[in-house]
A and B are shown apart, each in its own frame.
Chain A
Amino acid sequence: QKEVEQNSGPLSVPEGAIASLNCTYSDRGSQSFFWYRQYSGKSPELIMFIYSNGDKEDGRFTAQLNKASQYVSLLIRDSQPSDSATYLCAVTTSLNSGYSTLTFGKGTMLLVSP
């Protein structure tokens, strides 16, 4: 069973701080990595994807990937109360059928206090 692990949280940060969300995965063959945000009662929405080792920045968000350590993270700079949500890490993993699919972590709840 290929797994994606995240700390369930909640991770509490004050407004304006940097929030750091972490994710580890077990499938060494994974090639694409995603961060989704899910507000309570809503569907997951894509924040970022990353395929190569290193950092990828998009506005206040930076995704970091280290395939050797099987680790992916998301940094949120200048955190806002509107960032309060559950953040899901998703990793492309291969199945016994030969197909691949996204495997999701259980998510980290982020709470940003004003």
Chain B
Amino acid sequence: DTAVSQTPKYLVTQMGNDKSIKCEQNLGHDTMYWYKQDSKKFLKIMFSYNNKELIINETVPNRFSPKSPDKAHLNLHINSLELGDSAVYFCASSQDIPDGGPTDTQYFGPGTRLTVL
């Protein structure tokens, strides 16, 4: 069974379109994340939710809107896509909010490669 899954795996779209990426985890974790990995492979936190509550929002344009319908799901909706949004988006989960202990370990989904033309 896949622990953290994402759909779709690939997403190719035109500038100006709106798209969504979905993420689900079956690990029973309370905290989920969205990361963006750019062409230089730098992995940067975008958002984090703990028990459906947004706890981290790292200066991401408001065209990006996360939504967590329950603690096992975290979706990412992107409005008015721009060329610079092309990247790989990873969902991750951890047992709890990072506090310097073992529950800080994050487990990643397979990624969604978004290409904006």
Contact = CB atoms under 8 A, between A and B. Distances in A.
Interface of A: 30-32, 34, 38, 42-46, 49, 51, 86, 88, 90, 92, 95, 97, 99-104, 106-107
Contacts of B100: 30-32, 51, 92, 100
Contacts, number: 70
B41 A97 contact: no
Interface of B: 33, 40-45, 48, 55-56, 58, 90, 97-102, 104-111
B102 A49 contact: yes
B97 A100 contact: yes
Given A31-B100, A43-B110, A101 B40 contact: no
Contacts of B109: 43
A62 B52 CA distance: 36
Contact of A97 (B33, B44, B56, B104): B56
A104 B33 CA distance: 14
Given A90-B106, A100-B97, A106-B40, 7 more contacts: A30-B100, A43-B108, A44-B43, A45-B108, A46-B106, A51-B102, A100-B100
A45 to B, nearest CB: 7
A90 B105 CA distance: 10
8 contacts: A32-B101, A32-B104, A49-B104, A92-B104, A97-B56, A100-B104, A104-B43, A104-B44
B106 A102 contact: yes
Nearest to A104: B43
A32 B98 contact: yes
Contacts of B107: 46
B55 A97 contact: yes
Contacts of A38: 41
Given A32-B104, A101-B56, A43 B90 contact: yes
